[in-house]
């Protein structure tokens, strides 16, 4: 039963949908429905929604869906997909870039490059949004979000605005310490003077490296597992003999063993079962327990 079918809401500018399919919002293209999906137009719209949403209703935020697995039973709660009002990117003084949490990392990297701002090219290698980069201290190709972040802004479940400097973010590997119920809305990044053509060349090299080593044109979910201390997840999976291993319609990518691929007919259950079987076999072979990097939400 949809708990939110008759939830009274204030007049909102953004789109509200009940029993909304989430499969199109995940790169895996699998998964069930959310009781409610809201696409706020701006921060005030999001605050109004959060104030109206009962505190006991589960809530999660959808970025680009590159690191998301929605289970087949769907999500018994509210999902939020940040709208156009959260996708702005602007160049400010002293080689800084301000970006909405819904802005794609690659677009932020490109604007910085065109403005001659170095230091943000690594964002080209992260297939997500700024909000996701903040939440997971996103990093790739020698750079991490914590290296360039000045400050971030977000709303808590009560719709209150909070500001976070770099120290308050509590960054560690693929993690930040900000409460899970905070929804990031924008960030300010510090770059340095650079040559546009050289930065664009660096970004092109990242694009070529991703295309050569990762299954970028498939239904995948990015890096499946976090790298354990002193080890690489893909090497552990490879040593366990799992390259190309399948369960149902889900497969360990033959190109990069820390990526799972959803073939035609795959279900979220196939993908999660494959991930858990990988974890079991890697632990059996190496004694190392892999931890999921992909965010899994919803019910079986």
Residues 6+ apart with CB under 8 A from 21: 31, 32, 33
For residues 45 and 53, the answer to whether their CB atoms sit within 8 Å is: no
Q: Which of 252, 289, 249 is nearest to 270 (CA)?
A: 249
Catalytic residue among 21, 157, 243, 293: 293
Token pair for 8 = 């009274």
Task: Clarify whether 21 is annotated catalytic.
Answer: no
Alpha helices in 115-195 (DSSP H): 130-136, 145-148, 166-169
Among candidate residues 3, 174, 210, 243, the one labeled active-site is 174
Distance CA 58, CA 171 (A): 25
174 is catalytic: yes
Catalytic residue among 135, 146, 219, 223: 223
- Does an H or E element contain 120, and which? none
Catalytic residues: 174, 223, 293
């Amino acid at each position: 039963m949809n708990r939110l079918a008759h939830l009274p809401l204030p007049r909102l500018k953004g789109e509200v949908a009940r029993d909304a399919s989430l499969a199109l919002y995940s790169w895996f293209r699998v998964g069930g429905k959310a009781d409610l999906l809201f696409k706020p137009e701006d921060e005030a719209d999001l605050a109004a929604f959060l104030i109206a949403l009962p505190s006991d209703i589960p809530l999660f935020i959808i970025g680009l869906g590159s690191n998301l697995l929605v289970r087949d039973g769907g999500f018994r709660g509210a999902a939020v997909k940040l709208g156009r009002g959260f996708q702005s990117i602007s160049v400010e003084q002293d080689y800084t870039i301000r970006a909405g949490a819904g802005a794609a990392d690659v677009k932020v990297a490109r604007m910085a490059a065109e403005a001659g701002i170095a230091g943000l090219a690594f964002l080209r290698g992260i297939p997500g949004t700024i909000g996701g980069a903040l939440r997971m201290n996103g990093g790739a190709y020698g750079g991490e979000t914590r290296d360039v972040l000045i400050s971030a802004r977000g709303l808590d479940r009560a719709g209150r605005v909070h500001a976070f400097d770099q120290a308050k973010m509590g960054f560690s590997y693929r993690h930040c310490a900000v409460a899970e119920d905070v929804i990031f809305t924008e960030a300010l990044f510090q770059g340095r003077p650079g040559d546009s053509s050289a930065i664009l060349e660096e970004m092109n090299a990242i694009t070529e490296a991703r295309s050569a080593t990762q299954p970028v044109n498939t239904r995948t979910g990015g890096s499946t597992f976090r790298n354990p201390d002193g080890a690489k997840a893909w090497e552990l999976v490879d040593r366990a003999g799992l390259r190309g291993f399948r369960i149902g319609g889900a497969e360990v990518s033959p190109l990069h063993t820390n990526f799972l691929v959803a073939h035609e007919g795959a279900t979220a259950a196939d993908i999660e079962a494959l991930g858990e079987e990988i974890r079991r076999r890697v632990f059996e072979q190496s004694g190392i327990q892999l931890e999921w990097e992909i965010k899994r939400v919803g019910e079986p």
